[in-house]
Amino acid sequence: MAAQPERTGSLNAGGAVHAAAPGGLDSPDVRHDLLNRLRRAEGQLRGIQGMIERGEDCGKVAQQFSAVRRALDNAFVHMTVCLLQQEISAELTESDDALRSRLPLLLGELEQMLARRG
């Protein structure tokens, strides 16, 4: 197995990690970002439970379901890109430096395209 390259993941203003670190979930930044996404979704779900318990308007509850679904979809996209980077990085050899240097940008663009789909 080739030596792992230096971590290249970075947080953008929206909290997304584009081009996640090659090591995947061993990166504290990647773990922190993903856990924050899940905690926000968990909070949204608790809010929905409260709305249902109070008998709030079905339209408002449905709107909140849509928001939490999108949050989970975005977390899934982020995790998928993290997996791709981890697996591709593990297969790159020392002679693949050109691809290795372009990989974070390519996967960042892929993450943005996938996030826009919903």
Averaged pLDDT, groups of 10, the chain, 118 residues long: 40 41 72 93 97 98 95 90 84 79 84 76
**pLDDT value of position 13:** 37
> Which residues have a Cβ under 8 Å from the Cβ of 75 and sit 6 or more positions away?
34, 37, 38, 41
Tell me if the pTM is above 0.75. no
**pLDDT value of position 58:** 97
**pLDDT value of position 43:** 96
**pLDDT value of position 23:** 52
Token code pair at residue 96: 């693949």
**pLDDT value of position 7:** 37
Measured in Å, how far apart are the chain's first and last C-alpha atoms?
37
Query: What CATH homologous superfamily does 26-116 map to?
Result: Metal-sensitive repressor, helix protomer (1.20.58.1000)
